[in-house]
Structure 1
Amino acid sequence: MGQDVEYGESPWTVSIIYDDFDAWRQMSCTGTIINKQWIITAAHCNYRKSSHNQNIFTRIRVFVGNSHRRGTIVRVFSDQIYRHPKYRLRNRLSVYDIALYKLNYDISDRINRSIRQSFKMIENLVNTVCLPHEWDPEFNSERQFATMFGWGHIDAPGHSPHILQSGQFLLESNRYCRNMFLCTQFSLQSPHPMKTRGCAGDSGAGLVQYTDWHRTRAILIGVYVGHSGSHYCNESIVGLFWVSVVKHIDWIIETIEDNS
């Protein structure tokens, strides 16, 4: 997607792998830890619209605890999926393309048993991101920057990264995005075109903004759901889209409270 992260730069980002127990194929998405037992991602991940079950694969594994895919990890099996009740895969993009996964292990307890003895500063490697409080009419009224972290492909052939990727994007104003999504566009005619893109595997990735210059506190503002332009992971992609988290904050809080 972009560039390798620094070690522990995004402790809230997780890799989600979907497969079956006799798997010969799999799919992947990216998610974000919002509390000790809940992950937020895109609703279209592992979604089969023609099936009553709706899930393509039966096994869902969430890899937490390290920015390196092949490094030390903790596998947390997802117990329940809560897609937004208004999500329907009728169009390629949906403002309801957001889902919550309840994990059947408390992440902190799992970490205590698995890797805390190996890392004294585990909080820097596995942690939660902050959620926005309430809708601010002035939010994103003008163009502003935000950062996405994802495990998506890093080139057109579809190679997956060994290290978590990050990319900074200039968001267009809400008016430009028709007050529906958070979005960005790329101009190939620009003298300094942005080369960072969202690719397969980045679905569900968190888009954050930092509250301080030292980047010590991040607020989750968007969930990556798709792009426009080329189907390939290259510079022919002309726009990216994120579901706005704050617009669904009431559903997020109610879903967690009702199922905790």
Structure 2
Amino acid sequence: MRVKTFLVAILVFSVLNDVSARPAIRPLRAAAPIVCGRRPLLEDPFSAAGSRIVGGNDALPGSWPWLVSIQQPLDYEGRDFAHTCGGTIVNQQWVLTAAHCFKGVGSDYLEWRLVLGARQLSNLASGTQIRKIIRKIEHEKYNPDTEENDIALLRMDRPVTFSNYIQPACLPQKDTVFNHLSECYIAGWGVTSEDSGEPADVLQQAQVHLIETKKCNSTSWYNGAIRNHNLCAGHEKGGIDSCQGDSGGPLMCRRPQTKTIAVIGITSWGWGCAQAKSPGVYSSAQSFLDWTIAKITI
């Protein structure tokens, strides 16, 4: 097995100050709630594709504004950092990712950083925000040997400010039928080929197909290794897949009714990268929806 290591919207209130000469004070009015799963800068992230994720292409700025680069320091001073895993913004204080990203890390993750709103990691734009991790919650039943319940939440040291480049993702509804989702994507800064040792500098994206669990679990595919809480996505013939460094990042599908994007999976594991009949395996966000909501609303 190769492990791919390397939402709840928040209601924001605004105070409207009356600067007129009239002494009357207007009542405070609540601003409209932030809508999850929106990309203010881009309706179609593939409308002007650049040219890898394995088999993908460069994402345009603001294509996936809930994407997070989880980075660990390369020196004791914390001046240089390296991308390790991906994550998803679910609200102003929490990031959703994979538990296996923290195998053998102990408390060192407290020195890591979260980079939000980025596209090119070597040249962070002005809209990028950086946060530290002050709390990590792994699923209580996470099994590092089988990667069962491979999900974790990270609390940021202070709330993020939403912008054109930073937005919360939607999580799937309990009654979402995945068979009806035909437009799905993956994105991340992972390696762009299985034998590469370097993560991508520019955010990569690719379109993938959801693969029925029964087929994914068949003898010539994963032969029973797929659990009830897993999803498979990719291409039967291979060629496009998440890979090392994409772990913890999102599997995303467009909702047919609203056209917003929902994160339905968290990148977990797979056999090789972009191999035939070995698609990416994801933890189902729907299976862990109650767990996620309970943890971020404590």
Counting aligned pairs with the same residue, the percent is 26
Deviation sequence 1:44-67 (CA, Å, 0-9, x none): 10222xxxx745654120001222
Which SS does the other structure have where 1:44 is aligned?
helix
| Aligned ranges 1:174-253 → 2 under 5 Å | 174-177=213-216, 179-184=228-233, 186-188=235-237, 194-212=238-256, 217-228=260-271, 230=272, 233=273, 235=275, 238-253=278-293
Q: CA deviation at 1:171?
A: 1.0
Pick the aligned partner of 2:124 from 71, 79, 82.
71
Assess if the C-alpha contact under 8 Å between 2:110 and 2:134 holds in 1.
no
Could you tell me whether the CA contact under 8 Å between 2:229 and 2:287 is conserved in 1?
no
Contact (CA 8 Å) 1:203, 1:224: kept in 2 or not?
Answer: yes
Distance 1:127 1:47 in 2: 28
Tell me, which stretches of 5 or more residues in structure 2 are unaligned? 1-52, 217-226
Distance in 2 between residues matched to 1:25 and 1:166, nearest whole Å: 22
Q: Structure 2 counterpart of 1:220, which letter?
A: V
Whole-Å separation in 2 of the counterparts to 1:247 and 1:57: 26
Aligned ranges 1:22-171 → 2 under 5 Å = 22=76, 28-48=84-104, 54-55=106-107, 57-69=109-121, 70-72=123-125, 73-91=128-146, 93-94=147-148, 96-108=149-161, 123-136=163-176, 139-141=177-179, 144-155=182-193, 156-171=195-210
Could you say which structure has the larger radius of gyration? 2
Answering whether residue 72 of structure 2 is matched by residue 18 of structure 1, we say: yes
Gaps of 5+ in 1: 109-121, 189-193
- Displacement after TM superposition at 1:142 (Å): 6.8
C-alpha contact (below 8 Å) 2:266/2:284 kept by paired residues: yes
Instruction: Tell me how far 1:140 sits from its aligned partner.
Output: 2.5
3-state SS of paired residue (2:288) = helix
Partner SS for 1:31:
strand
Q: What displacement does 1:235 show?
A: 4.4
Aligned length: 228
Q: CA deviation at 1:225?
A: 0.3
- Hey, what's the Cα distance between the residues in 1 that align with 2:134 and 2:287? 25
- What residue in structure 1 maps to residue 211 of structure 2? 172
Deviations 1:169-191 (A, max 9, x none): 11112443564411036444xxx
Letter of the 2:101 partner, please give it: C
Describe the shift of the 1:60–1:135 C-alpha distance in structure 2 as closer, same or farther (beyond 3 A): farther
Which has the larger strand fraction? 1
- Judging changes above 3 Å, is the alpha-carbon distance between structure 1 residues 85 and 214 closer, same or farther for their aligned structure 2 residues? closer
Query: Residues of 2 paired with 1:99 and 1:59: CA distance?
Result: 17
